[in-house]
Amino acid sequence: MNADEFVLGIAALAPSVAELQAEGLSAQSAENFRKSYECTRRSDSSVSASDNPLLDLLARYDCSKLEIAVVTLGSAGINKSYSDKLLSQRKRVVGGVEADPLVLDEKTGEIDVRDHTDPTFTMAKIAANGGKLLDALYLVSSFKRPHPGSSRDLTREQRMENYRAALDRARSAAEVAGVPDPNGGIYATLLGAWEPSD
């Protein structure tokens, strides 16, 4: 998936104002919520020289309002010392997973999550390259549970169906990302693919 396809695909996933109002949001709140699905084209954007779709996305679009599960793209608000340590390893921050930086290895193109206190500690490999990360994040974004609503209002079988569907989507996302994992890897966490306890 390239940057433009990602931007259009994510924007198309935004619920309508009517759907959000049916959930109790005001018209203004619904419009604001829909904006969280948008990456806006930068006024100074020109065709990026990067063949990495993720770097192209970050160069041409402002994705600061976009959050997929707990993943953000762009600046992760890390301090200069941390950033300098990454740069000395030929790595750069391309986003975050909660407080932990999402890091691109400029030599290999691989993307991993680093501990926010230790730039040398890799917590998880998240994608083989930027394009595969965008594909996987789109799969996470487009996931719909078979049984929406609060888990306490669902039967055990409905909760199990939700778990199995989330786990299947997490496995697909990990595969698409180029980091196959029978347990779904980090994508299982992003999708909340935890087996019901009762």
> 30-63: buried (b, 16+ CB within 10 Å) or exposed (e) per residue?
beeebeebbbeeeeeeeeeeeebbbbbbbbbbbb
Average pLDDT, the chain: 91
Q: What is the DSSP secondary structure assignment for residue 172, as one 8-state letter?
A: H
DSSP state of 4: H
Q: Is the pTM of this model over 0.75?
A: yes
Q: What is the pLDDT of residues 54-86, one digit of tens each?
A: 999 999 999 999 999 999 998 767 788 888 888
Q: What percent of the chain has pLDDT over 90?
A: 77
Chain segment 161-176, per-residue pLDDT in tens = 999 999 999 999 999 9
Q: What span, in angstroms and rounded, lies between the C-alpha atoms of 94 and 16?
A: 29
Give the pLDDT band (50/70/90) at residue 88.
confident
Distance between CA atoms of 36 and 14, rounded to whole angstroms?
A: 8
Cα separation, 120 vs 127, whole angstroms: 18
**Tell me, what's the pLDDT at 152?**
87
Query: What pLDDT score does 76 carry?
Result: 67
Res 134: pLDDT: 98
Cβ atoms of 193 and 168 within 8 Å: the answer is no
pLDDT for the residue 45:
66
